[in-house]
Amino acid sequence: MTSLSSSPRARVTMLDVARHAGVSKASVSRFIGDDKALLSDAIALRIEQAIAVLGYRPNQMARGLKRGRTRLIGMLVADIRNPYSIAVMHGVETACRRHGYSLVVCNTDRDPEQESLQLQALRSYNVEGLIVNTLGRHLDALRELQRELPMVLVDRKVEQLPGDLVGLDNADAVRQAVEHLQQRGYRQLALVSEPRDFTSSRIERIEAFTRLVPGAPVLELGDDLVIALGRFLAQPTAGAKALFCANGMAALACTLALRKHYPDALNTLGLIALDDLDWYPLVAGGITALAQPTHDIGARAFECLLERLRGSTAPVQTHDFAAQLIVRGSTPVQTA
């Protein structure tokens, strides 16, 4: 019986390759670097054969640091469990790979202390640029990083931290939702949102909604959500009622609360949500959604960063993407 050794295999070094090939370490360095043309064909062949025999793998990080290039992009994410964050991150990573970069992701878990620690970690990784989706609780650390390397914000503006911003056209998305509900015959609307918490995208959606529907209630997630929903459902009205959930997290909390405490309401209440998550088609005949082009947002964020990495000094840019309305069974046409 063959047994596996518990001791790890020693890493093959550049010096091992040089000794095996009978050449200098400098020659091996030239072979795996950008100076291969300086070597004779015979020496290059011996080095190539030694690498194959020994199974040598160059330390790409060390090579990058030596040249002042790591080909690493950092991404600071407020909540990696949020489906929006995952989808945007996939768009960033895909674009990174296409241009020969790798992505280092740090999750703050909405914790200011973690944000500080993760910013320090990103600096230690020698990332070449940074994509930020965060509340920006540590402005000094973010400003210091911004002085050292290019930075692009995603979804959330950070006051006193000017920079390129890529996200959703929140005012237009809210307008689409309200117009859809009103055209379908819903006369009493309410917005369900995560707490404002200084998050610019949430604030923009709430402000746009209250402008379009003056006096309409805004219900925030938390211990009082069930009570607030009950009050809204109990209000007398001459027309149909509908809820607009301002993001996927709000949609999930609202749907769970309705199913548990007001199950009959799902049969009569209009429901539309920003974001389009995989479970939406499974509830209330399918939840009507305003889909964010999350992959495109992530890819554009990296492209903005790449332009800065290549030396662009253009004025700060804002890229607002439009949401796409996807109509499902949760917003049927109401008859008078």
pLDDT of residue 299: 96
Residue 328 lies in a domain: no
Residue 9 has pLDDT above 70, yes or no: no
Beta bridge partners of 106: 76
Stretch 270-284: mean pLDDT: 93
Same domain, 179 and 287: yes
pLDDT of residue 274: 96
Domain that holds residue 115: 71-166+295-320
Residue 53 lies in a domain: yes
CATH code at position 307: 3.40.50.2300
Cα 247 to Cα 55, 107, 155, 302, 304, distances in angstroms: 50, 20, 12, 23, 25
168 near 142, Cβ under 8 Å?
no
117-133 pLDDT, tens digit each = 888 888 888 889 999 98
pLDDT of residue 61: 54
Q: Helices 14-21 & 41-54, crossing angle to 10 degrees?
A: 120
User: Quick one: pLDDT band at residue 292, thresholds 50, 70, 90?
Assistant: very high
Residue 335 lies in a domain: no
Q: In what order do the strands lie in the sheet with 318-321?
A: 102-107, 72-77, 129-133, 151-154, 164-168, 318-321
228-237 pLDDT, tens digit each = 999 999 998 7
Same domain, 128 and 100: yes
Return the SS3 of 198: coil
Stretch 179-190: mean pLDDT: 96
The identity of residue 229, as a single letter, is L
Same domain, 42 and 138: no
Stretch 83-87: mean pLDDT: 92
Residue 196 has pLDDT above 70, yes or no: yes
Helices (H), the chain: 14-21, 25-32, 41-54, 60-67, 83-98, 112-124, 139-148, 170-183, 200-212, 225-234, 248-261, 294-309
Q: Helices 14-21 & 25-32, crossing angle to 10 degrees?
A: 110
Residue 132 lies in a domain: yes
pLDDT of residue 7: 47
User: Quick one: pLDDT band at residue 293, thresholds 50, 70, 90?
Assistant: very high
Residue 206 has pLDDT above 50, yes or no: yes
Residue 5 lies in a domain: no
Same domain, 110 and 157: yes
Residue 1 lies in a domain: no
pLDDT of residue 324: 97
Domain total in the chain: 3
Cα separation of 215 and 45, whole Å?
Answer: 78
Residue with tokens 């990080």: 61
Same domain, 288 and 301: no
- Average pLDDT in the chain: 88
Stretch 281-294: mean pLDDT: 93
pLDDT of residue 4: 43
Residue 300 lies in a domain: yes
324 near 290, Cβ under 8 Å?
yes
